[in-house]
Structure 1
Amino acid sequence: MRWTPQTLADAAGGRLLRAGDRPIAAAFIDSRAPRADALFVPVMAARDGHDFIAAAAQAGASATLLKAGRSLPPGAERLTVVEVDDTLAGLSSLGRHARDQIYGPVVAITGSNGKTTTRALVEAALATRFAPVTCTRGNLNNHLGVPLTLVDEPHAAAAAVLELGMSAPGENDHLARIVRPSVHVISSIALEHLEFMGSLENIAAAEAEPIPHLRPGADGHPPALVVPADEPSLRAHLPPPESGVRVLRVGPGAGADELLDVAITEVEVGVRTRAVLQLRSGERLELRLASFGAHNARNAASAVAVAVHLGLPLAPLVDALEAVAPVGDRGRLQQLGPHLLIADCYNANPGSMIAALDSLARLRATRPGPLLAILGDMLELGPAQAQLHREIGAHAAQLGVDAVLGFGPLAQEIVAAADAAGVAATHVSGEAGSVEAAVAWIRAQLGETNDPGAVLFKGSRGMRLERIVAALAD
């Protein structure tokens, strides 16, 4: 059980109006996805969550928060009821309280690209010593998802790994006040959410917002910050030596470079991504990662840096990282005859699009068949969106990709730039019939050749390019 009625009220910063007689083990905010023996938090969104307290009670909730001045509806008589000034603030307070019960390392991960894969790798690294580990699931990385993750099972976590997601300044600061990490990993800085963020410098500042909230681990380790060494926009935000924060730098370079704590010295892209990492101590690790793409070497280097900081043994670490499967459609591979399908279509911005195309091009040495890029719209890029899409088409042509298909209205700019550079390129609207048209185009490009090729699928989540991957497999 997570709370008694009184400890729930205390943790939420509220007043206990009524004590029910059922356990309170977790929390939820959507009465359409209820949790038995859990707290219902009615939040103010498109609709007022207070209108659904009775439905949540009928679905198995054992408690509810109630905004001061609101009445409890009929049908909620058995619930534990805690009155709070603001239900969202109450949920945040519950998250902070749950975080205080974790006495091992708490790792927060921010960044433009690679957060989820880095989270999975760091979770695997921590699990070699700590059990159980609280970890972000799905996309629960915002002002609602982070506290919900913290209050959920496991209730006696030995460590935690939490993604912090943002689309505007100040959001990561708010989340970090809840999480108060002992380790902060910044996975990357790239153009994202430009219609809200405005510039790369603003993005870097937002991804660095958790740094002031770092605190020492209860195990005696100093606070640590893991950063990519090749992100100049972060330099202004790094803490000074007198802060006590240990800054660990990862990235490409020779192992002898004293600035790199984990250097990426070799990367080979294939069905497994081979990465050779050299630690500042001189030790060398060779990993074969399940997620496709050279960029995943940096995600793995970040996980290794966390492990080194915490003094975790390296031998089990290698096996743990190699066992991490792709999370959803983030570098997931499947075969289509002799050809490789690369489903990297969970999300996209210019940085992740370039990284995926670079990795596709690296396959040329081992896959003599066609290399095709199915590229969807990149969303939330603001006034620069047309130019940024054109740059992706030009980059694909520069890499020597054999053919490009643009999927969605913005992808017309990708196709125009690729076509102007001499690459076979076509466009489908993304509307009805587009999936079938894309499948027919891909099959025509692959033809009857037995030479193994590869097809990359990359676009923003809203484009749902996984539909094309599934249709090809049918």
Structure 2
Amino acid sequence: MRWSPDSLAAQAEGQLRRRGATEIAGAFIDSRSPRPGALFVPIVAARDGHDFLAHAIAGGAAAILVRRGHPLGSVDADGPGDLTPEITVVEVDDTLAALTRLAARSRDRVEGPVVAITGSNGKTTTRAMVQAVLASAMHPVLCTRGNLNNHLGVPLTLLDEPHEPRAMVVELGMSAPGENDHLAAIVRPSVAIITSIALEHLEFMGTLEAIAAAEAEVVPHVAPDGIVVVPSDEPTLRPHLPASERGPAVLGIGPTEDADVVVLGVALGERTEATLRLRTGDVITVRLRCFGAHNARNAAAALAVGTHLGLPLPPMLQALEAVEPVGDRGRVHHLGPHLLVADCYNANPGSMEAALGSLAAIDRQGPRVAVLGDMLELGPREHELHAEVGRRCAALGLDLVITLGPLGEAIARAAHDAGATAHHVGDDLEAAAVLVREALEGAQPGAVLLKASRGVRLERLLPRLGLEG
């Protein structure tokens, strides 16, 4: 988003206290990562962002917001510089509220599709797939970067480059009721995708039904002529979906025959080969670089959006097949003849079930090894839910289960009691690496899964196995 000093003040609903000499483009809130030519918004939280105004200016900020009454002049007597006349200054009552207003106004610049993505699992991969599908026919597409999906990240995304997008794809993240409602009110999507409903953030959410209600908070904000894309086999979402005659159309994706994009089958190997039937009647096969049967659903959601918009099918398929995993979300590595799937960014019971099921179904003759760590933020049921994962490993017939972390011990114990070979190594990454190497040595081509919540930092195991972390 670009502003003149006057348009910035008007859209922020503030007072222009100093008119700078340059155009302002984009925004940032962390003075340690300044953006030259952008607006610095000092957020008042655990620390007061006003303490870092001079650092932001020294980093190249073209404008700053300040709360009403904040003194100007020398911004920070101990800082790297003074407030120079070239800097635009806009005074507002509340800097976070002003950032939110700017983002809402920025959303107005897009006449094309604006896609909001919520859900327990798969948001980031779906985001990448939807961006690829849209970009196959329209350019440029503004898309969430990294994990900027909360009350700060979503506004920053809407103000980011490209400054004249033809479409937007925005990820919404929540850990408590009301958060998606707030974010969706800013984004005002024409398309909403709810990727999945699974047990997550249980210490804040309590029940699966509460999670479904929170993820569905996006629905009332979808334009009446828009669409809502949901799993066709997810009953907890049904009470929250609009009747077709009163709101946006609902498109289903998944294995059920009444889905608008039906997942007919998935073959798992170095690539995930998904066979889908579109509502047009076309049956297509797409070979995804992102590992896991669950990614067939993510691709189906992207295709549901693209076909609804009337985009040409061949370029969409080509774009989907080129999508790389975002970080360690189903990224496939090679350990000699063996595959290693790094899925280290997030974990909850639903995503763990999906990843383990895909590991068990992979088309390999050798051992299947699961290296698992703690699933976080599960509240009072955390030990029970970890034990369920261990029992599931045994039921799937995995050859070896290796666990790390204090909660991982419950996985190993339950897996062992259910008849699986399981070892808990505490926090000893080298011990885990030794067990993996021993399991694969001399074996036919097999597969290893690394899966844990982000806080475990399970990707630290990769270098010990001779891979880049």
Q: Which residue of 2 aligns with 1:193?
A: 201
Q: Which residue of 1 aligns with 2:245?
A: 242
**2:397 matched to 1:390?**
no
Q: Which residue of 2 aligns with 1:162?
A: 170
CA contact (8 A) 2:180 2:218 kept: yes
CA contact (8 A) 2:269 2:364 kept: no
TM-score normalized by the length of structure 1: 0.95
2-structure distance, mates of 1:128, 1:144:
29
Q: Which residue of 2 aligns with 1:77?
A: 84
Structure 1: 5+ residue runs without aligned partners?
Answer: 217-221
**2:422 matched to 1:453?**
no
The amino acid across from 1:48 in the alignment is D
TM-score normalized by the length of structure 2: 0.96
2-structure distance, mates of 1:131, 1:338:
40
Offset of residue 470 of structure 1: 2.5
2-structure distance, mates of 1:194, 1:76:
46
Q: Which residue of 2 aligns with 1:265?
A: 264
Offset of residue 302 of structure 1: 0.4
The amino acid across from 2:343 in the alignment is D
Which of 448, 457, 465 matches 2:458? 465
Q: Which residue of 2 aligns with 1:219?
A: none
CA contact (8 A) 1:27 1:41 kept: yes
1-structure distance, mates of 2:61, 2:315:
41
Which of 80, 87, 97 matches 1:89? 97
Percent same amino acid at aligned positions? 61
Q: Which residue of 2 aligns with 1:151?
A: 159
Q: Which residue of 1 aligns with 2:79?
A: none
Q: Which residue of 1 aligns with 2:137?
A: 129
C-alpha RMSD of matched pairs (Å): 1.1
Farther-moved stretch of structure 1 (440-449 vs 118-127): 440-449
1-structure distance, mates of 2:273, 2:338:
20
2-structure distance, mates of 1:139, 1:385:
25
Instruction: Give runs of aligned pairs for residues 301-380 of structure 1, distance below 5 A.
Output: 301-363=300-362, 366-380=363-377
**2:186 matched to 1:178?**
yes
1-structure distance, mates of 2:90, 2:431:
55
* Runs of 4 or more consecutive aligned structure 1 residues displaced over 4 Å after TM superposition: none
2-structure distance, mates of 1:419, 1:45:
46
Instruction: Give runs of aligned pairs for residues 225-304 of structure 1, distance below 5 A.
Output: 225-253=228-256, 257=257, 259-304=258-303
2-structure distance, mates of 1:345, 1:238:
32
1-structure distance, mates of 2:247, 2:378:
37
**2:437 matched to 1:435?**
no
CA contact (8 A) 2:386 2:410 kept: yes
Q: Which residue of 1 aligns with 2:106?
A: 98
The amino acid across from 2:270 in the alignment is V
Which of 212, 223, 237 matches 2:220? 212
CA contact (8 A) 2:28 2:156 kept: yes
2-structure distance, mates of 1:213, 1:76:
41
2-structure distance, mates of 1:167, 1:35:
29
CA contact (8 A) 1:341 1:469 kept: no
Q: Which residue of 2 aligns with 1:29?
A: 29
Structure 2: 5+ residue runs without aligned partners?
Answer: 77-81
Instruction: Give runs of aligned pairs for residues 52-63 of structure 1, distance below 5 A.
Output: 52-63=52-63
Offset of residue 471 of structure 1: 2.0
The amino acid across from 2:379 in the alignment is G
2-structure distance, mates of 1:358, 1:188:
16
The amino acid across from 2:184 in the alignment is A
1-structure distance, mates of 2:281, 2:137:
23
2-structure distance, mates of 1:13, 1:392:
51
The alignment of Structure 1 onto Structure 2 pairs a total of residues equal to 459
CA contact (8 A) 2:5 2:88 kept: yes
- Tell me the secondary structure at the aligned position of residue 315 of structure 2: helix
The amino acid across from 2:223 in the alignment is R
**2:368 matched to 1:400?**
no
- Tell me the secondary structure at the aligned position of residue 267 of structure 1: strand
1-structure distance, mates of 2:158, 2:244:
31
The amino acid across from 2:196 in the alignment is S
2-structure distance, mates of 1:428, 1:66:
51
